[in-house]
Amino acid sequence: MKTLKQLERLRKAHLLIQQEKTGTPREFANKLNISERQLYNITDYLKEIDAPIEYNRKTETYYYTASFDLLVNISVQVMVHNELRSIYAGATFLNENFLTARLLQ
């Protein structure tokens, strides 16, 4: 379930960045219940998928310099007594432009 936890952290990080309510890197890491090093890994990953993310020292928050969309879909299939059950969960965050990051298929 480690991957699901990471996806949820990514979703939450995106939401906080989008709202410009991250606080300092230390505060942001605390909001996500992770270390600052793990936070930098998340922001590095967002940059790898072309997220236009920056940090403003005056307002002490991360923000997107341009519209950025992130779609996180989670699908789990479980076999119980020879019966296949599908479980779907996820969250969608959309701005003006549409960019999809598929992290788990």
In this predicted model, which residue has the larger pLDDT, 3 or 10?
Answer: 10
Q: Most confidently modeled of 5-19, 22-36, 85-99?
A: 22-36
Task: Count structural domains, the chain.
Answer: 1
75 within a domain of the structure (yes/no): yes
| pLDDT band for position 5 (cuts 50, 70, 90) | confident
Write out the residue range of the structural domain in which residue 82 sits.
Answer: 2-93
100 within a domain of the structure (yes/no): no
89 within a domain of the structure (yes/no): yes
102 within a domain of the structure (yes/no): no
78 within a domain of the structure (yes/no): yes
Is a pLDDT exceeding 50 seen at residue 91? Answer: no
User: Domain containing 38 — which CATH number?
Assistant: 1.10.10.10
Q: Which ranges of the chain does DSSP label H, i.e. alpha helix?
A: 2-18, 25-32, 36-48
99 within a domain of the structure (yes/no): no
Report DSSP letters for 48-77, one per residue.
HTT--EEEETTTTEEEESS---EEEEEEEE
Beta carbons within 8 Å of 77's beta carbon, 6+ residues apart: 84, 85, 86, 87
104 within a domain of the structure (yes/no): no
Q: What is the pLDDT of residue 55?
A: 96
For 14-73, the pLDDT digits (tens) are: 999 999 999 999 999 999 999 999 999 999 999 999 999 999 999 999 999 999 988 877
